[in-house]
Amino acid sequence: MSEREQPRRETVTLIDNATGRRVELPVRRGTHGPAVIEIGRLYKELGYFTYDPGFLSTASCRSAITFIDGERGVLLYRGYPIEQLAEHSTFLEVAYLLLYGELPDREQLRRFEDTITHHTMINESLKSFYQGFYHDAHPMAIMVGVVGSLSAFYHDSTDIRNPRHREVAAHRLIAKMPTIAAASYKHSVGEPIVYPRNDLSYVGNLLRMMFAVPTEDYVVHPVAERALDLIFILHADHEQNASTSTVRLAGSSAANPFACVASGIAALWGPAHGGANEAVLRMLAEIGNVRNIPKYIAKAKDKNDPFRLMGFGHRVYKNYDPRARIIRRMCHEVLRELGDDNDPLFELALRLEEEALRDEYFIERHLYPNVDFYSGLIYRAIGIPTNMFTVMFSIARTAGWVAQWMEMIADPEQRIGRPRQLYDGPPRRDYVPLEQREPARAAGGVHFQGEARVTD
């Protein structure tokens, strides 16, 4: 091909108005979604970093796993719409899809399910870790600790440059999360740990490990089993969210995969992320009555009040969260079959949604219910206590975390994640010996910028 026939490379030109210098930056297009401007050369050529707190316009990696179109309310796993997977698939099939990129055939699925089932036990010595936690420890605190401590085991599978080792670590994580989660719960209620059973499904096993006791077995209700499996499908991955980005960043330094997933669990815990499902139930309980809805909507709109409507709003979805639509339907079914279809909290949730969606403040800002607005009500109907809601989320998201971690390690463009900053602290200054320093003006503690105040 002659030079004239070469396809024109798509670029964007950035001009520094102060100096007149310009740099041509390549544009890269994916399958769907906005194209990206590659800015890797920007610092070298113009001497600038880019500044984008919260990554509003920044793609941190390339990925072929999950696609979200927030404007149109679209969520695809490996190209398949979430609605189709929710209707026809199972969580383990979705986990396979996320990990390997294609839907399995019958034999591949059987082998995968068998592998996961045969990795569900945890090392006996891991059980003693639980004894170190106070009985009222939050189960997410236990999860961070115990999952992280898996990195002290399994030295046979942690050469992350070996694809087979990565695969085994991924299988172990997906398989052991329900066992670790159920044991966290058992510790918090002072009951003995229940071992996994190979004749049960992934979520059936989890429910039994949570609710069986030595004196009485637990029979899994098929509606609870299907509902939990569906919630797990909906939560399995969500491209570069806070916890997934945390797993990737930790993994970018070639850290141990179990420790990386523990860092993801820590990021998920916050109420702005996975902790929202727990916060929704607490909020509904606090609102208490439909008569109080206007008062709480006013609080959510008041900029001087830190209160937000939990389970509302999303960084990416500026249309209805497609997962919320699916889960809302399932919520009706579960409450009809297992709980109380007239559950006052469910009625309250429906009314709150209705009134918020009519309110100019929420309309203008495109604030819609997200997946966690309804998931907590389903968990409650199944009998899962509120402090376990985010733990449930972490089990499902493990499939996405390990798929994203595996993709990242195998990516030839992968480098250690090392963001830069805009430094706005004091300019260079000389050390002042203690005896020459002025007494500090603020007494009684150290003050930091913002609200944080620490005393010793």
Q: Contact residues for ligand ACO (CB under 6 A)?
A: 54, 272-274, 276, 300, 308-315, 365, 367, 370-372
- The distance of closest approach from Cβ of residue 260 to ligand ACO in the complex, given in angstroms and rounded to an integer, is 19
415 contacts 208 by C-beta, under 8 angstroms: no
CA distance 101 to 95: 10
Q: Which is nearer to ligand ACO, 150 or 348 (CB)?
A: 348
Q: How far is the CB of 76 from ligand ACO (least distance, A)?
A: 17
The residue nearest ligand ACO at its CB is 313
Min CB(169)–ligand ACO separation in Å: 25
Given 372, 430, 447, 456, which residue is catalytic?
372
Residue closer to ligand ACO, measured from CB, 112 or 389: 389
Cα dihedral 270, 275, 276, 277, rounded to 10, equals 180
Cα–Cα nearest to 43, from 425, 428, 422: 422
- For ligand ACO, the closer CB: 221 or 308: 308
Task: Work out the burial of residue 338: count CB atoms within 10 Å of its CB; fewer than 13 is exposed, 13-18 middle, 19 or more buried.
Answer: middle
Contact criterion met (CB below 8 Å) for 316 and 69 = no
Concerning whether 372 is annotated as a catalytic residue, the answer is: yes
- Our measurement of the distance from residue 174's CA atom to the centroid of its chain's CA atoms, rounded to an integer in Å, reads 15
Q: Which is nearer to ligand ACO, 54 or 214 (CB)?
A: 54
**Rounded least distance, CB 273 to ligand ACO, Å:** 4
Residue 315 CB, shortest distance to ligand ACO, in Å, is 4
Cα 421 from chain centroid (whole Å): 25
Rounded Cα–Cα distance for residues 41 and 57 (Å): 18
CB 404 within 8 A of CB 245: no
- Residues 90, 92, 98: CA angle, nearest 5 degrees: 105
Q: Nearer to ligand ACO by C-beta: 166 or 273?
A: 273
Which is it for strands 36-37 and 66-69: parallel, antiparallel or unpaired? unpaired
Minimum CB separation of residue 239 from ligand ACO in Å reads 12
Q: How far is CA 52 from CA 289, 314, 420, in A?
A: 41, 18, 11
DSSP 160: T
Supply the minimum distance, in Å, between the C-beta of residue 282 and ligand ACO: 12
In angstroms, the first-to-last Cα distance of the chain is: 72
> For ligand ACO, which is the closer residue by CB, 211 or 296?
296
Based on CB atoms, which residue is closest to ligand ACO, 93 or 278?
A: 278
Q: Is 366 tagged catalytic? A: no
| SS3 at position 344 | helix
What distance lies between CA 126 and its chain's CA centroid?
A: 25
Exposure b/e, 40-75, CB count within 10 A at least 16 = b = eebeeebeeeeeeeeeeeebebebebbbbbbeebbb
Q: Which amino acid is residue 111, in one-letter code? A: R
Q: Which is nearer to ligand ACO, 160 or 392 (CB)?
A: 392
Crossing angle of helices 389-410 and 139-149, in 10° steps, is 30
Smallest distance, ligand ACO to C-beta of residue 367, A? 5
* Candidate list 229, 314, 321, 359, residue with the active-site label: 314
**Nearest-angstrom CA–CA distance, 23 and 223:** 59
Catalogue the active-site residues: 314, 372
